[in-house]
Structure 1
């Protein structure tokens, strides 16, 4: 999928009057070269009436006013990674931000200004040119804006917190077409709202994010085990969790091998140290005797490449998150067995247990930002991939059942959570009522309702956990 749209070739006379001065690209279904509704999850694509690729905040304002003048629904498209269709809209206007992907740096104040169409990979590369970085995720083609305003897990969490906790300012376009600055002095209530409240309040033109020094290099590992080693692996991971440092992140995946179609457990990791230190810290996992092991030392700006194979899977996809605070063999084994039963119909499916360093997440008070999940509970991703179109409802059922099992031995909010909110795409677009939004945002929901009444009372932005105005 291209990350840039071609030049606008549509005849000016065919444009709606509002678009006559549009500087970016406007495409309709008849424009074969410019009309692009492809999504990372193919079933999330919708046939929009217009796909607009803005070149400025003024273009975004124009697109919103066009949609509202014709009573057309709006979707905001950044990295296009949502599985449910939150970045797509049938018969409406998609504001596709991919061409607004500039990154600029204020080194004196250590602030990076990242436009709303920027992917994580592009942001990492651009910031690294200045010897800097910010708190971002690991998915190369995931959009920075969507990641950050939905929370933002990442390998720097242990040192710098969530991506949303690194937002210090924004430029936004509101539902009335107004262009506003958002910071501690201007529209500070919106600053609170976009730190976890997602796309409910407007289009992100640009985020200002705290900058940090990157690690000089990243140690990465990939150790592959057979299912019979699960018990020993769970024991070793549980022991490692007691001594995990803020600079260590591990992931455990259960999936089929792409070559032989057999089930495997894949342990991957990233850390801010050299390969020798990686061997010392993670050597315990080598002692278990993986059937394949690989350790590498890579430049910091190459870390997003570790996710490319997973992200590039050309298949139908549906996924959800889960939280867990108990990591025990019986629960993990049951979840793996259930996923294995799904693979004949969905062979690219995966359960991914994520061992980020979560200690800084609850250090920010729950009421300090809109982000509702301020605990040390760990995250998991249940991904049902590679199924035929007609198997969608069964894929959804299987996903829900496996999610329940992943959290079943946990306690408190982890057991009842919808999972990390940015992974809960299966629920995000079910907005006939606000039941999912209430469940997602918890005790922060009433304040978010007040913001919705102030900035988007007609619910123009309604594709992702749509908040009902107070």
Structure 2
């Protein structure tokens, strides 16, 4: 950058010189509220030298070029939900996308263009104004881009497929600062790569996604059971799985009750049913006799706020995923017992078994996108929450043990899987290894290496399942 084409964001400070066209905000410690390095998982927050809040692809380019000119590492922050610290960097530059949160819609062609900093709940709200939606996740505060580049497992997958399969285009900023269009005609190899290949190739300024018409309303349930009712729950869930329809999604969660501190099983979910139809069609679960049951009819655009209370749980957090294709009482009970023991140290911890309708997922060939997990194996989330800082290593040991049990009675890829990529345990440098990246991307790894060599040979973007050069 030439001296004639730069400006100081705050004259007299040690803030960086950036091009005159830069419209964003630069924060350094201690800039109060402007300098924000807080994360959903507090232990992964790192003291960045600069937090840069871009407002455009040009701003992102300027931030990347500045960081590289100073030999500073880069992290990209979207929803800031990753428990492994991918959105944080010690002494480097965080490109925090939160101010790039606009949505525009091509209603005729049913394509939505979502800026790189928007999170799921606002995206659902904005798209709904046009009478449209796409495959997005259950957690409203997760970043849309992170959700998509990690696969995009959401409750509409039974009808529309994975979030990454909805991507039709992107505007990206590469490691050299170039701003490029990505679609089937331009840089189509990058289009393949961002469909599940993580943040390995650049910063996504805007994402184009195919849209569909939403349901007018959603039936939601929350049925709460005691641990003694687990055998009946496993039996009924196993029977329901044989008749599950594409529009149905259920999950089973183990957690402590907030009032009495006792373990409970929570069956939650949603579908297109009306509330009365929901009670009838999911009546098998009511007949078990939950200690509390709630069935509600809500507007479609409210679904992504259903887990807000859980997401707002304070305290330290680590998490990992597991796959399973066998859901049996002995395995589920063992995992629950282990988690109950863990709650003595991490009282807000949970296991969640997720029952999406997966039939569309394997219809897309594994080699068609970077996302390799194209089976009907179901997902589980193991999250340890609320433990003391000093218990981190022990928390991870317990988490890994529970993860292994969840998959222990399953067969094939489910038993050996690293878990759904967006849930995977990538904590700092400990698990950010070539071996884990290879394990994550399986037979797609060599092609991802080719893309890395082409678009980021110096591994500027290296914070989440970083692809190593061959």
User: How many Å separate the matches in 2 of 1:332 and 1:418?
Assistant: 19
Is contact 1:352-1:381 (8 Å) kept? Answer: yes
Is contact 2:324-2:415 (8 Å) kept? Answer: yes
Q: How does 1:172-321 map to 2 (within 5 A)?
A: 172-321=172-321
User: How many Å separate the matches in 2 of 1:36 and 1:149?
Assistant: 24
SS of 2:244's partner is coil
The residue number in structure 1 matching 2:3 is none
User: How many Å separate the matches in 1 of 2:369 and 2:432?
Assistant: 26
In the alignment, is residue 466 of structure 1 matched against residue 442 of structure 2?
Answer: no
Change (3 A) 1:77 1:299: same
The residue number in structure 2 matching 1:94 is 94
User: How many Å separate the matches in 2 of 1:16 and 1:382?
Assistant: 41
Q: How does 1:408-419 map to 2 (within 5 A)?
A: 408-419=408-419
Change (3 A) 1:295 1:311: same
Residue 31 of structure 1: how far off its partner (Å): 1.3
The residue number in structure 2 matching 1:132 is 132
User: How many Å separate the matches in 1 of 2:374 and 2:427?
Assistant: 20
Is contact 1:171-1:180 (8 Å) kept? Answer: yes
The residue number in structure 2 matching 1:322 is 322
Q: How does 1:366-385 map to 2 (within 5 A)?
A: 366-385=366-385
Is contact 1:118-1:143 (8 Å) kept? Answer: yes
Q: TM-score, structure 2 length as denominator?
A: 0.97
Is contact 1:318-1:426 (8 Å) kept? Answer: no
SS of 2:153's partner is coil
The residue number in structure 2 matching 1:392 is 392
Greater CA deviation, 20-29 or 104-113? 20-29
In the alignment, is residue 74 of structure 1 matched against residue 67 of structure 2?
Answer: no
User: How many Å separate the matches in 2 of 1:277 and 1:428?
Assistant: 47
The residue number in structure 2 matching 1:122 is 122
User: How many Å separate the matches in 2 of 1:414 and 1:277?
Assistant: 33
Q: TM-score, structure 1 length as denominator?
A: 0.97
Change (3 A) 1:431 1:467: farther
Residue 250 of structure 1: how far off its partner (Å): 0.1
User: How many Å separate the matches in 2 of 1:276 and 1:57?
Assistant: 48
SS of 2:228's partner is helix
User: How many Å separate the matches in 2 of 1:210 and 1:223?
Assistant: 34
Residue 221 of structure 1: how far off its partner (Å): 0.3
Is contact 1:428-1:436 (8 Å) kept? Answer: no
User: How many Å separate the matches in 2 of 1:116 and 1:254?
Assistant: 33
Is contact 1:10-1:27 (8 Å) kept? Answer: no
Deviation by residue 1:382-412 (Cα, 9 ceiling, x = unmatched): 0000001111001100000000000000000
The residue number in structure 1 matching 2:335 is 335
Residue 431 of structure 1: how far off its partner (Å): 6.0
Deviation by residue 1:245-266 (Cα, 9 ceiling, x = unmatched): 0000000001100110000000
User: How many Å separate the matches in 2 of 1:305 and 1:252?
Assistant: 18
Q: How does 1:36-47 map to 2 (within 5 A)?
A: 36-47=36-47
Is contact 2:8-2:18 (8 Å) kept? Answer: no
Is contact 1:350-1:384 (8 Å) kept? Answer: yes
Change (3 A) 1:433 1:381: closer
The residue number in structure 1 matching 2:444 is 444
User: How many Å separate the matches in 2 of 1:379 and 1:106?
Assistant: 33
SS of 1:332's partner is helix
Flag structure 1 segments of 5+ consecutive residues without an equivalent: 1-7
SS of 1:426's partner is coil
Deviation by residue 1:308-331 (Cα, 9 ceiling, x = unmatched): 011101110000000000000000
Aligned residues: 463
The residue number in structure 1 matching 2:4 is none
SS of 1:33's partner is helix
Is contact 1:74-1:94 (8 Å) kept? Answer: yes
Change (3 A) 1:428 1:377: farther
Residue 280 of structure 1: how far off its partner (Å): 1.8
Is contact 2:220-2:297 (8 Å) kept? Answer: yes
Residue 33 of structure 1: how far off its partner (Å): 3.1
User: How many Å separate the matches in 2 of 1:245 and 1:101?
Assistant: 34
Residue 21 of structure 1: how far off its partner (Å): 4.0
Change (3 A) 1:19 1:345: farther
User: How many Å separate the matches in 2 of 1:20 and 1:395?
Assistant: 48
Flag structure 2 segments of 5+ consecutive residues without an equivalent: 1-6
